[in-house]
Structure 1
Amino acid sequence: MQNSDIYTHVIAGIPGLSVGVSIDGNVVWREGFGFANIESGSRCTGDTVMRIASISKPITAAIAARLVQDGKLDLDKSIQIELKTQPKSNIWFFQTYLPDFPQKTFEGNSVRITLRQLLSHTSGIRHYKKEKKVLPNAFYSKKQKSIAELRRERLT
């Protein structure tokens, strides 16, 4: 895609985007187009971080599928065991982001939560609380806060 093609999309109604190209792990080009925030008038740069919310679900699934294909991820193993027993090179993203995933129970019994269950939303972990809705502009930067919330949550 050429810059003129990107500008055409921005003019057509997409407020803004950040684009980057990486070759062999090295960023060779990055650029921002349009606005990061229309209200404030701040422009996108090659370093602008966007809130991607639900679009992260298919991206995560695609990455997980690739890791399964490469033999680096087993969807049917317990994440609690995986997090503590696999070398970092095998399941790097779970070890990085969920190192202290709490052991969960259901009706008094310890349960086994798998990556397949997490990816298919069948683990019993709720995606929201009735009294606390996720705000569309909220920024969740601390994994510790998420882990603490998971410790308190009961499975449904």
Structure 2
Amino acid sequence: MFSALRQVSRPATYAVRAARRPTPSVGVFRTAPFVRTLRFTEDHEAVVFDDSTMTGTVYITNYAQSSLGDVVFVELPAEGNKVTKGDQIGAVESVKAASDIYAPVSGTVTEVNAGLADQPGLLNKSPEDQGWLCKIKVENPAEIEALLTEEAYKAHCEH
């Protein structure tokens, strides 16, 4: 008896689901409200630029963190600091070496990853996600476009 009820109820259920589906409009395309752009420097910093907030999230690349080895200390810029593209904004110390961090773009530091003070190893575990360094309110979005694309960065690392 139950199987007969299931079979009888199926067509109605599918009809209701089908009726709820929106029909696509021909010629109408939905666009994302913002665009995120990923760019790289030759010094192995990367920035993810969000054009809706004009903010770039800065991190070191996976290539950089693997070259450094186990990170033991991270020095970050102070929030509110104005930085110019190419300025030293911090440093990373590892068991192998120390390396400076340079601003990939000009602007104002709006946030720093305070978690790196207690867990500098996040740069090794998750440089792009949990190990980001700082966020910069970008003054000139054209500076983003002048940085290396992912393909150009990969080519740079192979030399």
Pick the TM interval, shorter chain.
under 0.3
More helix by share: 1
More strand by share: 2
Provide the TM-score with structure 1 as the length reference: 0.24
Provide the TM-score with structure 2 as the length reference: 0.24
